């Protein structure tokens, strides 16, 4: 639980302080930064439930601390949870033995594709009337940078930690 709290706090700091909004049609439609990295990391290393919780908490608490000039859209909180859930589920389905870079890359790609390239543009279209096909090209460019970056960072941290922080904590208490 402490690791989830640290990842949530890291996500808030990365998303709110070290990212910037790209306006589309006068509305801040795309945030470019690394705020999703701790959410993805939680999903892959701690499981889909932890990834979902970190994503949801980071979005709600982050918005409460610094709304970044926009209205609260609950749909985006659900998408933030999905950002952590999907990579965790993909890893669970594909993992056979040690976690490989290929598995991590597939998990990150699946999660980012669904959350950033499909669901978020759809919600922004439905709620803020930002055209889907105006929003998607910028997101594709961003994901071409973020997906490999997230994959390398998660793989490096996972390789350094060994299995997962949760596995180490459970092994020590048994």
pLDDT in tens, 38-77: 999 999 999 999 999 999 999 999 999 988 767 899 999 9
How many CB atoms sit inside 10 A of residue 172's CB?
A: 7
Per residue in 107-116, pLDDT (tens digit) is 999 999 999 9
Per the document, the length of the chain is 174
Mean pLDDT (the chain) is 87
Report d(CA 154, CA 172) in Å as an integer.
23
Q: Please give the model's pTM, rounded to 2 decimal places.
A: 0.86
Q: What is the pLDDT of residue 173?
A: 38
Which domains does the chain possess? 2-163 (1.10.1760.20)
Q: Give Cα separations from 62 to 8, 59, 168 (angstroms).
A: 9, 5, 29
Residue 95 has pLDDT above 90, yes or no: no
In sequence order, which residues have a C-beta less than 8 Å from that of residue 150 and are 6 or more positions away? 34, 36, 37, 40, 108, 112
Task: Give the three-state DSSP class for 84.
Answer: helix
Alpha helix locations (H) across 19-164? Answer: 37-46, 48-65, 74-94, 101-112, 120-128, 132-161
Q: What's the DSSP call for residue 100? A: P
């Amino acid at each position: 639980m402490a690791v989830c709290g640290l990842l949530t706090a890291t996500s808030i700091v990365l998303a709110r302080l070290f990212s910037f909004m790209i306006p589309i049609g006068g509305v801040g439609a795309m945030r470019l930064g690394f705020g999703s990295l701790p959410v993805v990391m939680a999903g892959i290393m701690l499981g889909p439930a932890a990834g979902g919780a970190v994503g949801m908490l980071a979005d709600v608490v982050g918005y409460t601390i610094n709304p970044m000039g926009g209205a609260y859209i609950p749909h985006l909180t659900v998408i933030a949870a999905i950002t952590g859930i999907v990579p965790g589920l993909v890893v669970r389905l594909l993992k056979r033995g040690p976690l490989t870079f290929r598995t991590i890359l597939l998990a990150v790609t699946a999660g980012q594709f669904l959350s950033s390239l499909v669901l978020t543009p759809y919600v922004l279209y439905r709620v803020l009337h930002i055209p889907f096909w105006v929003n998607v090209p910028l997101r594709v460019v961003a994901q071409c940078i973020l997906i490999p970056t997230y994959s390398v960072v998660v793989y490096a941290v996972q390789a350094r930690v060994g299995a997962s922080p949760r596995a180490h904590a459970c092994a020590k208490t048994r």
